[in-house]
Every structure is written in structure tokens, then in C-alpha cells.
Amino acid sequence: MTSGPVDVSEDRLRLTARQAVESGRLEAAQSSLESLLQHNPADAHARLALAQVVLQRGQLRAATGHLLHIVQALPNDAPLIIQLVPLLHLTGEIVAARSCLDHLARAPNPPPRVLAAQANLRWILGEIETAARWMDRAVQAGVDSPDERYLQALLHQFTGDMERAASELESCLQRWPGFGAAAVVLANLPTRESAQSRLAFLEAQLARIPEATGSVHEKRVRAEYASAFFTLLDGLGRQDEAWQALQQSNAVMHELLPYDAGEEVAIIDTILEAAASLCALGADAQPRHAGPMPIFIVGMPRSGSTLLERMLSNHSQVASTGEINDFMCQLHWTTDVAPGGMRSMQEIFRRSPGIDFAQLGARYLEQTQWRAQGNTHFIDKMLINIQAVPLIRRALPEAPILHLVRDPMDVCFSNLKANFGLSSPYSYDMLAMAHYHDQHARLVAQWHASQPGAMLDVHYSDLVHSPEATLRSVLAHCGLEPEVACLRPEHNTAPVATRSSPQVREAIHTRSIAQWQRYARQLEPLRKALA
């Protein structure tokens, strides 16, 4: 019998691979794992480890091939599937990721942690209502950690159950007062109680946190509470106290997450250089698409994009999909660049003149058609796609692109007061905010100059002051007939997974216009920087 020696050899290879990964010797780890798969091609765990290693080495397409190989003979192994799905999402294989979760959903009597994992993974894929159902099941089955209860609260918020979301967040903070992110969300939710009562509640929870130790985590928690205090104090009309809280919050977050102006300029330079090369090459005709058509919404964060999405997706032929990263995922795949922040984005654009745009468009559509849910159009509201407008036009020339435009002071102030956590470093300092806005404006100006007609500017002020005329123009640009329902976004029952989800469930209003003027004196450095 030969099974004994083979088993010993496989164990040795597995150990060697694990040690190589732990010591950062990725080439050696890849070699050991490939040898292991020669012994046993059906070893799904070894293949998953190999996919992770080659992805770390920047070989995205090779990693994708190994992941899809596992999907073809998917084992009944919940821990493996839970590791597999995020990697499929990362590599743009959304359809395969959903099929894995469907397979996992058929498991009888799953433990609470598996239920919670399914909720989290469905949320990552943008399936908010499904995620909410799984998380409710997980909590009922006994899941009870701050992260999981916080996610449950967010999912209730996104599906419109604000009271239940608030109750969950209050419970979370009572049990885990150091969970500052919950304070930020709670402060922005509508409440039957007074803002003063909610402020007192949050102050009481903050007082339960031990004195500062100076750790990064504690600094961030106190910054999150200060951000929540700003929101409530601002609503109470106590502007001086509110501004002091906002300054405190943003100063800490700016220290923890400094903005790199040079890097921002570098990536915009790279994008514009690549776009110029693409223009020089000329456009190839792409095959006409007969299925559901994406509508891209791009622009600055906090520019009013969620309101536009809610109005459009109340149309009988338009589905809301939220902030999906599908186009960027397919860009990574077609250029074979593994995700890795700003540097990977620069590499994508350096390689963009060599992109097979027919393949890019086909892959994007293949992975997103299910999102339309039987409608003729679906909305892709990933705002950072503003960087990829020429690439979208080449890959999907029929897809309309809508660019939200908001008054510079309004949009910058809205970002400064948002507290995005450990993302968006530009949003915690006035000069950084102005610089980021200027780079965005530089990009937009170039797209209008080099890609005339590529995107339709939609001004937020027009959207709220003259919604009917503005929507008529937007719908015509998208090839859709006007429908009165689009003017009643408060009747839209679809989930909305953004920070502004409580506000966009209201009727169209103009309250967000010129809010910055309440802090005109304090915001003078921002105004001068923008000027």
C-alpha cells in the first residue's frame, strides 16, 4: 500500500507551505502548495491557500482560476466557503460567490457563527434584505458580539426600520460603551426622544470609558463620540459647542489618518495621462448589449447621489443596487492588478491602454445582470468610478453616466462633519478637504473637455429646487420615460446602505442647502482655500 508515504509527504508539504507563508517567503509557499496539489488535486484547502499566496504575489488572474476550480467541486465545508466568498468578491467573481452562499444556505442546522458569517457576506455583496434576515436568525440563535449586534443595527437602518436600529445601537452602547462607531450612527438616526435626551445618553456612555491611555483605539473612540456630539449639538442649535466637538473629533482623526496631497496629485496625473493615451488610440465599436443596462452615478461623496438614486430607482424599470464595486473589480481582473490601495489604482491606469474593453464590458455585465431583478436598468452608485469615466465609456458606451454636482462649500462641509472612520483621510482637515475637492474638479474638467457628452452633470440644487424638470432631463438621458413616482423618493422601500439613509427616506427638501453658513466664521479657511 502506498497511502502511508503519500500522506507523510503531503503533511510535510503542508507544514513547509505554512511556515513559508508565516515567514513571508511567498515564492517558496507557492512551490510547496503546487507540489501538494500535484499529490492531491482535490485538496480544496491547499488550493485556497495557493490562491491567497498568488494573490499576495500580485497574480490576480491566477488566483481567480484557483478559486473557480474550488467552486466547480465545492465541498460541504462551511469554514472553507466562508473564506472563499470574500476572495471571489475581491476578484470580481460575484456570481460564483453568490452560488457558494446559496450552497452554504442549504446546510442543515448551521451554528450561530455560520449564520452571522452568511449575513456579513450577503451584506458585502450588497444583498441587504437577505443579510438582515440572516443576521436576525444569527442573533436569535445566540450570536452576541459587539460587531455582530452593530451590523444588525446597520441592516435595520438600511432597510428602513429606524426605531429598531436605534434600540439595537443603544443596547450595544450600554453593554459596550467603547464601541464609538455605534455612537456616530445613533446620533444621525431620527428619534421620538429629544436630541437632548440622546445627547445625555451618549455622554453617560462616554463617562463609563476609563481615563485615556493614549492608545490609537481609545483616541478613535473618543473622536467618534465627539463626532456624535457635534451632530446632536448642531441639531439643538448650540453651534459653538458643536464646532468645538467637531474640531476635537477631526483633529484626532486627521492625526490617525493623515492626508497625502502628493499621492492624490500623483494618481490624478496618472489617470489623466492614461486617458490621453486612450484618446489617441481611438475607440473600438463594442457589441450592443440587449440585457439590463447600468446607470452609473459618480461624483464627490456627500454630493446628493443617494437622493438621485432613490428618485431614479422609484421608476418602474430601474433597480437600486447601491454602492457596488463591480466595475473596479473587473478593471483589476482585466489588467491583472491585485487590489492594493492607491498604488494598485495607479498601476491599473498605467496598463489601461492595453485593456481588452470588449472583455471588460462583458465581464462587468456578466457579473451584474442579476442585480437588475427583472428591470431594464440598474444603478451602479460607486462614486469613485468618476476616476474611470473614459474606461466606462470604452467598455460600456451605451451606459449613461450621471455626475452629481453640489456647491463646493456645502459638499466640503458635509464631508468634514461626516466621520467616515478609517477611510477618506481628506475629510478631517479643511485644507486637505479643499485640496481633494480641487483634484476632483480637475478630473471632472478634463472629462468634459476630452469626453464631451460622456456624463450628464446633475446639480443638487436643481434636484431639490426643481425636481420635476431636473428628473425629466435625467430620465431622457437614460432613455427612460418620466414617471411621477420618481418625485416621491420617500415612498421607495428599497434598502439604502449609506450614511444618509435616514434623510433620503423623507420627501424632497432643501434643508441641506447652505448649511455651512451656520459656521461661516469657523469655515473661513476652507472658503479661502476653495477660492
Indicate if the alpha-carbon torsion angle 381, 385, 391, 393 is positive or negative: positive
CA dihedral of 155, 159, 162, 167, whole degrees rounded to 10: -30
pLDDT band at 5 (very low <50, low <70, confident <90, very high): very low
Q: pTM of the prediction? A: 0.94
**What is the arithmetic mean of pLDDT over 295-308?**
96
Which of 83-97, 250-264, 343-357, 409-423 is predicted with the least confidence, judged by mean pLDDT?
343-357
As a residue count, the chain comes to: 531
More confident residue, 280 or 330: 330
Contacts for 13 with CB less than 8 Å, ≥ 6 apart: 32, 33, 35, 36, 39
| HEC sequence for 476-495 | HHCCCCCCHHHHCHHHCCCC
Residue 229 exposed, middle or buried by CB count within 10 Å (0-12, 13-18, 19+): buried
**What is the arithmetic mean of pLDDT over 519-530?**
98
Pinpoint the residues of the chain covered by CATH 1.25.40.10: 1-109
The label of the residue with cell 445582470 reads: 369
pLDDT value at residue 1: 36
pLDDT at 150 over 80: yes
DSSP helix/strand/coil, 405: strand
pLDDT value at residue 500: 74
pLDDT value at residue 147: 94
Under 8 Å between Cβ of 172 and 179: yes
pLDDT at 371 over 50: yes
Reference 521, options 309, 165, 247; nearest CA is: 247
For 71-123, the pLDDT digits (tens) are: 999 999 999 999 999 999 999 999 999 999 999 999 999 999 999 999 999 99
pLDDT value at residue 281: 63
Measured CA to CA, the distance from residue 409 to residue 167 in angstroms comes to: 34
For 202-245, the pLDDT digits (tens) are: 999 999 998 777 899 999 999 999 999 999 999 999 999 999 99
pLDDT value at residue 211: 78
Which of 38-47, 355-364, 494-503 is predicted with the least confidence, judged by mean pLDDT?
494-503
Measured CA to CA, the distance from residue 119 to residue 110 in angstroms comes to: 13
pLDDT at 384 over 80: yes
Measured CA to CA, the distance from residue 106 to residue 49 in angstroms comes to: 25
pLDDT at 6 over 90: no
Measured CA to CA, the distance from residue 119 to residue 96 in angstroms comes to: 17
pLDDT band at 498 (very low <50, low <70, confident <90, very high): confident
Measured CA to CA, the distance from residue 328 to residue 526 in angstroms comes to: 31
First-to-last C-alpha distance (Å) of the chain: 81
Reference 283, options 184, 395, 187; nearest CA is: 395
Measured CA to CA, the distance from residue 77 to residue 13 in angstroms comes to: 22
Find the largest Cα–Cα distance for the chain: 85
pLDDT at 4 over 50: no
pLDDT at 474 over 90: yes
Instruction: HSE, CB side, 13 Å, CA atoms: give it for residue 487.
Output: 11
Backbone φ/ψ region at 352: left (φ over 0), alpha (ψ -120 to 50), beta? alpha
CATH code for the part of the protein at 291-323+377-530:
3.40.50.300
The pairing of beta strand 318-320 with beta strand 401-405 = unpaired
Amino acid identity at 124: I
Architecture of domain 1-109: Alpha Horseshoe (1.25)
pLDDT band at 284 (very low <50, low <70, confident <90, very high): low
pLDDT band at 285 (very low <50, low <70, confident <90, very high): low
pLDDT value at residue 256: 96
Question: Cell for 366?
Answer: 456578466
Under 8 Å between Cβ of 413 and 428: no
**What is the arithmetic mean of pLDDT over 11-15?**
86
Reference 510, options 457, 474, 461; nearest CA is: 461
Measured CA to CA, the distance from residue 145 to residue 330 in angstroms comes to: 34
Question: Cell for 216?
Answer: 490609537
Measured CA to CA, the distance from residue 161 to residue 155 in angstroms comes to: 9
| HEC sequence for 44-75 | HHHHHHHHHHHHHCCCHHHHHHHHHHHHHCCC
Q: Sheet containing 456-459: which strands, arranged edge to edge?
A: 318-320, 377-380, 293-299, 401-405, 456-459
More confident residue, 350 or 516: 516
Measured CA to CA, the distance from residue 224 to residue 145 in angstroms comes to: 20
Measured CA to CA, the distance from residue 123 to residue 144 in angstroms comes to: 18
pLDDT value at residue 376: 97
Pinpoint the residues of the chain covered by CATH 3.40.50.300: 291-323+377-530
